[in-house]
Structure 1
Amino acid sequence: MKTRAITGFFFIVILIGAVLVGPFTFVPLFSLIAVCCVYEFYRMVYTEDTQPLLFMGVGAAAVGLALVGFSLVDILPYSVFQFGIVGILLLYITALFRKTVHPIQDVAYSIFGLMYAAIPFIFFMELGFVEDTYNAYIPLGFLILLWTNDTGAYLVGKSLGRRKLFERISPNKTWEGFIGGVFMAVVAGIVLSRYFGIFPLWGWVCIALIIGVFGTFGDLVESMLKRNIGVKDSGNILPGHGGLLDRFDGLLMAAPLVYLFLKNAF
């Protein structure tokens, strides 16, 4: 527990610091985290029968995120769509030269790893630039709401949890914890509307609801993945916490939806 607390404290300090310092720390750090998440995904699903194209997939994630990052900080224009098409075609061609048991399955896992673990971070980084110029308080607010939801769900679920949410996927999650997490996120959203501003009260409440609901679904989807392949944690890079995917599973589903909400509501 002590190791977990120390790791969590310093990890949060690094994340908050990178967001607040500016785009030239925010974008590289979360791009690196995204690439590490892709690597963790490939390592998790890698078996004798399933062998995703690890180096090509991680390389594609790194190049794609670099292009996005350079564009966000106005260093150069990019076209991720065209790059993505070329990258997928290269995965197909590379699989022809690999002597694996299920090459199409390998390609499918390679593409899914990019969709699941990398693309959501692009949406998260875009949150910092949703107003065209960088605003640290939007991604920071997102992280605060995500952490508040997780903490509220854990505390309420541990003390009051009775009814299982998805027992076959995650036996420890309860409806009481889910509702408690969403409620705490909404309260945090109300506080953020007062101190961060940027959006009106109803905007922050909607963001909190999206994060509370779909952040939980993101957590459950990762639990489903780990249960499906028979692993406990996505990695061990964070002592006491597991892997980076374990810490950002809620972001993977919530970030794209929050971005779409902000782009269409404001």
Structure 2
Amino acid sequence: MKTRAITGFFFIIVMLASVLLGPYVFTGFYLLLTVLCLQEFYKVLKQSSINPNLSVGLLNGAYIFAAVASVYYLQPTQSHKLLLLIAITSCLILVNELFKESPTPFTNIGFTYLGLVFAVVPFCFFHALGFVHGYFNGHLPMAFLLMLWANDTGAYLTGRWLGRTKLFERHSPKKTWEGFFGGVAIAAAVGFIISIYFKELQWRQWVSVAIIIGCVGTLGDLVESMFKRSLNIKDSGGILPGHGGLLDRFDGLLLAAPVVYTYLYFITN
């Protein structure tokens, strides 16, 4: 428990610092985090006798994130050219398999592409939260993290205290409906508190974002649990002592970040 608490403390400090230290640190940090999460995804698959294209997959993951992020740093004509090159780099996944002797080449190709969708695309959307107004503003990604952590903590505490009715026992036996509603309520309360200090959105919009994070983030947690159960593993990795892997810590973000960005894009434009 002590190890878990110490790891959690430093994890929170690093995550908040990545948002507060400006756009370049923010972009660089999440580029690194994206690559590490994708690497973790591929390594877990390799432990289960699935052989995704690790090097080409990681190259594509880093390039996709960097190309999408370039939209906020370069002129449109330059950034659009970088985005178009994704069509070429992604083809390398198919071509690379031609030179490998594998009885299941398209399984390898499919899981390589799945890693890009599962681990890279969500972080592209989360990074975009920092630029949703057209310029860098760390308040939105910071608030997202605070509400995500509030939902996770609220669901855990409420579930332990009041949890009776299983939410989705087949994939996550410990989750309950009581914990789910408790997590959403606490996230909404944190969203309201955030609205007092961060004026980019109205309080109703902050609370709406919190509810989206609570609902969709829980689905992301369940999807990641389904992924681990399909491979018969407990944790996605061991990089965070007492907490498991990076995918274990960001499972709620994987589905919530794209939905929250879409919501904010429409209400701010």
On whether the aligned pair clears a TM of 0.5, the verdict is yes
Tell me the residue number matched to 1:42.
42
Measured after TM superposition, the shift of residue 195 of structure 1 is: 1.0
Q: How does 1:171-182 map to 2 (within 5 A)?
A: 171-182=173-184
Measured after TM superposition, the shift of residue 226 of structure 1 is: 0.1
Q: Does 1:62 align with 2:47?
A: no
Identity of aligned residues (%): 47
Gap runs ≥5 in structure 1: none
- Find 1:225's aligned residue among 200, 224, 227: 227
- Distance, in Å, in 1 between the alignment partners of 2:9 and 2:106 is 42
Change (3 A) 1:80 1:46: farther
Tell me the residue number matched to 1:21.
21
Tell me the residue number matched to 1:131.
133
Q: Which residue type is aligned with residue 41 of structure 1?
A: F
- Distance, in Å, in 1 between the alignment partners of 2:169 and 2:60 is 36
Tell me the residue number matched to 1:252.
254
Deviates most, 47-56 or 85-94: 47-56
After superposition, the C-alpha distances for 1:203-238 in whole angstroms (9 at most, x for unaligned) are 111101110000000000000000001111111111
Output the TM-score relative to the length of structure 2. 0.95
Tell me the residue number matched to 2:11.
11
Q: Which residue type is aligned with residue 242 of structure 2?
A: G
- Distance, in Å, in 1 between the alignment partners of 2:209 and 2:101 is 47
Measured after TM superposition, the shift of residue 47 of structure 1 is: 4.8
Measured after TM superposition, the shift of residue 49 of structure 1 is: 4.5
- Distance, in Å, in 1 between the alignment partners of 2:121 and 2:82 is 11
Q: Is the 8 A contact 2:123 2:257 kept in 1?
A: yes
- Find 1:234's aligned residue among 233, 236, 250: 236
After superposition, the C-alpha distances for 1:52-74 in whole angstroms (9 at most, x for unaligned) are 00111011111222223343234
The DSSP-based 3-state class of the residue aligned with 1:171 is strand
**What stretches of structure 1 move > 3 A for 4+ residues in a row?**
73-76, 78-81
The DSSP-based 3-state class of the residue aligned with 1:226 is helix
Gap runs ≥5 in structure 2: none
Q: Is the 8 A contact 2:64 2:83 kept in 1?
A: no
The DSSP-based 3-state class of the residue aligned with 1:46 is helix
Q: Is the 8 A contact 1:64 1:83 kept in 2?
A: no
Q: Is the 8 A contact 1:24 1:73 kept in 2?
A: no
Q: Which residue type is aligned with residue 190 of structure 1?
A: F
- Distance, in Å, in 2 between the alignment partners of 1:143 and 1:6 is 18
Q: Does 1:264 align with 2:257?
A: no
- Distance, in Å, in 2 between the alignment partners of 1:168 and 1:215 is 18
Q: How does 1:64-103 map to 2 (within 5 A)?
A: 64-74=64-74, 77-79=79-81, 81-103=83-105
Q: How does 1:78-227 map to 2 (within 5 A)?
A: 78-79=80-81, 81-227=83-229
Q: Which residue type is aligned with residue 82 of structure 1?
A: L
Q: Is the 8 A contact 1:23 1:73 kept in 2?
A: no
Change (3 A) 1:79 1:119: farther
